[in-house]
Amino acid sequence: MMALSNRDLQLTELNGGGSSDGDDREDEWLLNNYDGKKERIGDGMRRIQVGVTGMTCAACSNSVEGALMGLKGVAKASVALLQNKADVVFDPDLVKDEDIKNAIEDAGFEAEILAESSTSGPKPQGTIVGQYTIGGMTCAACVNSVEGILRGLPGVKRAVVALATSLGEVEYDPTVISKDDIANAIEDAGFEASFVQSSGQDKILLQVTGVLCELDAHFLEGILSNFKGVRQFRFDKISGELEVLFDPEALSSRSLVDGIAGRSNGKFQIRVMNPFARMTSRDSEETSNMFRLFISSLFLSIPVFFIRVICPHIPLVYALLLWRCGPFLMGDWLNWALVSVVQFVIGKRFYTAAGRALRNGSTNMDVLVALGTSAAYFYSVGALLYGVVTGFWSPTYFETSAMLITFVLFGKYLEILAKGKTSDAIKKLVELAPATALLVVKDKGKCIEEREIDALLIQSGDTLKVLPGTKLPADGIVVWGTSYVNESMVTGEAVPVLKEINSPVIGGTINLHGVLHIQATKVGSDAVLSQIISLVETAQMSKAPIQKFADFVASIFVPIVVTLALFTWLCWYVAGVLGAYPEQWLPENGTHFVFALMFSISVVVIACPCALGLATPTAVMVATGVGANNGVLIKGGDALERAQKIKYVIFDKTGTLTQGRATVTTAKVFTKMDRGEFLTLVASAEASSEHPLAKAVVEYARHFHFFDDPSLNPDGQSHSKESTGSGWLLDVSDFSALPGRGIQCFISGKQVLVGNRKLLNESGITIPDHVESFVVELEESARTGILVAYDDNLIGVMGIADPVKREAAVVVEGLLKMGVRPVMVTGDNWRTAHAVAREIGIQDVMADVMPAGKADAVRSFQKDGSIVAMVGDGINDSPALAAADVGMAIGAGTDIAIEAADYVLMRNSLEDVIIAIDLSRKTFARIRLNYIFAMAYNVIAIPIAAGVFFPSLGIKLPPWAAGACMALSSVSVVCSSLLLRRYKKPRLTTILEITVE
């Protein structure tokens, strides 16, 4: 048996399947591959990404860019310092990959040509994405250090670290590097690392109760050792946590749990542990630990403060403090003892973090705190020793060191509390997941047993019983029962939805009334709730482009501050020696050296790079959480940044602007054929098609025969047994669907054509003028005309309408008021398209656009550099969603459309487009305000701390007060971001400037 570390933990996830079809009116087109969102490059040009190591600042990235642009044939070179990458567009006839690599290496850096990949698309085959909690990060410089270390590891393809969530996501090749190696690399750099979960499916963490003694533990180990498929395990007797590594092909997670419980005869109770719950407990532990440090520091600092400020006014106490004990006064001994504990025991974390940063070649806030407190502490110790030797007793500043550490710890505690609030969205989503499920065990179709299982052990195909008032345990389909379900957690709509047999259901939603039996179809990472959590997580870990500037400033901030502090000390010291200011300014028994040192220390401790580092990620985290609560899932900060600049919004028509539920409004026969015979003929032809228009035709014909025509339904019943079958339809042969035209088949040996003008013209069938006029009239009234030919003769026309969504016109007007120009793109003919556009107020229309041409339509609006958004719902919209600057998948959408989009609008409502744009604008307004505050704080605070205003206004900031200001600066920025939680979605009446009485 081999032991596992805590980093090996992950949940077993069982893959489901399922996809949905697109609803385009003119074609049924499948997207076979998706290359992600790429910038367009010229013909004959090639684009590659190069990994560059050794860059430490903007000057390095400029050197790399200069070396690349100096190559003949390179059209464009862009270097991302924080990502350690170079993006190069070049002419492969003039320059080769190796030339690019050599140019970077000649500039003094290491280079590696990277394989093409997309972080938003499918992960490269053979790689695993692991998630880690990372402790000890205090600012953007720490984040840069960890990311740099991870990206430098062999086998690591991608690494993203988020300061606000203390999480890291690493994509790596498990054949080259292990989870332990990654965690060890983080810990070797001086940070804390703990594995959370990964995309692999061979590990599970269980909570075991019933292990009361050493004998029980050996019994449990014996059970696990005899399991076929168990590779490794580790049991912690204190916490009761059991980690198991197993072969998923030989053993399922449920079989493992059931086997342990069964082989122990019920002695051991097993519960699957949720990795997100562990993360929450770690967050609580970090908060508690920081609070304990703060209270301890405060408890020891208050006596030091009293000794310096209060005690001199209490004669008896002051006399005791002035009692000489050995070479020092009693007060000095007390100050030294108390502050030494604060400085080196409680404040050890600052020395550790500072050493870690310096060891990695970077600087952060901990370096500033360690410098400031050490200067005050060691000066005070030196002053005491100097007094013993010379008899000249200079003032000491022990209280400065103690109070500074206390205030910094208080600030960190408040910061952790505030940052915890920003991750509430994920916590709430996790809480939505049900804990248990009722598994229905069947034998030969009959229920033989019902038993409760952990919801994390549900497998695809399981039949689950859902009682009234409980959460649905998984995504699936209703196989028995009828009830209403509250789906507001996904759609945002409070109105309950009726669920009957074959109705789809979503895990985590609430069953309100009747009992349901559902069959699980999507579990684990494929479930809707899991995908929402994953999307929110990914968004909160992403970095907006605007953050790159802040990260760069933070990386050079500390060296600049230290330089300013030295310059401040030099100026005041030299000015004092030259007699530039009166001796009265000096503290009692003080010197020019000490006077200058206090200003210098204040400069060091008041400067705060944390505020800059937190300005963007905290706002993005809050915005993604707020968006999720409003049914708008945002995939990242870069999507937010682009969305606030949207100039055009291109809407797909069918299923986006319209309801996507086609209905027949007109059926006109132009021959002597009976109306019922005509409908039977058309329905028989369309019954073999899966197209939405075909289904509308069949439904219309069925309704006519079994409800409107009493001769076929003598009992007057609208739902006879026959009506649900297909016995009334004619036999069809040689059926074929013709994309973009319609369908053809043979009935009774005669050809039947159902489709558009193009289909009939290609078949040589003439369309009479009066029929053409009728079709034009339909199209001008926003209906689609479907022509029907039988035995080479046009026999009739059916008018089909897809009603426009009720909010479409108001949303279009609202976008115009917001300065955004709406555009409609559709495969329909121009008459129908323009009729729909007129109805909802859209001026720009692109008609007769095939699915493959939608992406070209998007690009046509991007030519002038405008930011273009695409709103669609189907597979055939995916290329356009990917080509757009901002892709918005509306409604549940299809899996591939969601993959291609930047925003997922969970409700089938166009109003969410306005919410997405409005939230993006408000988020970036808040980010800009955060940056203004953070920059202004340092611009104003540093001169005050340096004593710039002391000669004229007498304003001086003691080091301990500077520490208090610094501690509150980053908290202020985080709290500013938290105000986004009060976001209210805009009312359309407000946008349209309508007065409601």
Catalytically active residues are 652
- 899 is written with which tokens? 């993959």
Q: To which H or E segment does residue 441 belong?
A: strand 436-443
Angle between the 592-606 and 398-422 helix axes, to the nearest 10 degrees?
Answer: 10
d(CA 338, CA 907): 60
- Asked if 705 and 728 count as a contact pair (C-beta separation under 8 A), the reply is yes
Whole-number Cα distances in Å, 332 to 386, 589, 729, 809, 924: 13, 16, 103, 78, 52
For 901, phi then psi, to 5°, come to: -85, 160
Whole-number Cα distances in Å, 226 to 222, 223, 229, 237: 6, 5, 9, 20
Q: To which H or E segment does residue 234 belong?
A: strand 230-235
Q: What is the DSSP string of 171-213?
A: EE-TTT--HHHHHHHHHHTT-EEEEEEES-SSEEEEEEE---S
Rounded to 10 degrees, what is the CA torsion of 632, 635, 636, 640? -40
d(CA 123, CA 997): 54
For 187, phi then psi, to 5°, come to: -70, -35
d(CA 644, CA 642): 6
- 449 is written with which tokens? 């047993």
Per DSSP, 471 falls in state B
Nearest to 837 by CA among 862, 812, 854, 856: 812
Nearest to 29 by CA among 898, 883, 877, 904: 877
- Asked if 612 and 550 count as a contact pair (C-beta separation under 8 A), the reply is yes
Sheet holding 867-872, edge to edge: 632-634, 903-905, 886-890, 867-872, 646-652, 821-825, 844-846
d(CA 14, CA 12): 7
Q: How many CB atoms lie within 10 A of CB 806?
A: 10
d(CA 539, CA 625): 9
d(CA 506, CA 509): 6
d(CA 538, CA 904): 13
Whole-number Cα distances in Å, 611 to 206, 932, 973: 40, 10, 6
d(CA 343, CA 380): 13
Rounded to 10 degrees, what is the CA torsion of 863, 868, 874, 875? 40
Q: Strands 203-209 and 793-801: what pairing?
A: unpaired
Angle between the 179-188 and 140-151 helix axes, to the nearest 10 degrees?
Answer: 140
d(CA 742, CA 881): 26
For 541, phi then psi, to 5°, come to: -90, -15
Q: Helix, strand, or coil here: 106?
A: helix
616: amino acid identity, one letter: T
Angle between the 348-359 and 140-151 helix axes, to the nearest 10 degrees?
Answer: 50
Q: Phi-psi category of 804—alpha, beta or left, where left has phi over 0 and alpha has psi -120 to 50?
A: beta
Query: How many residues make up the chain in this entry?
Result: 997
d(CA 909, CA 808): 9
Whole-number Cα distances in Å, 99 to 68, 95, 415: 9, 6, 48
Residue 412, judged by CB atoms within 10 A of its CB (0-12, 13-18, 19+), counts as buried
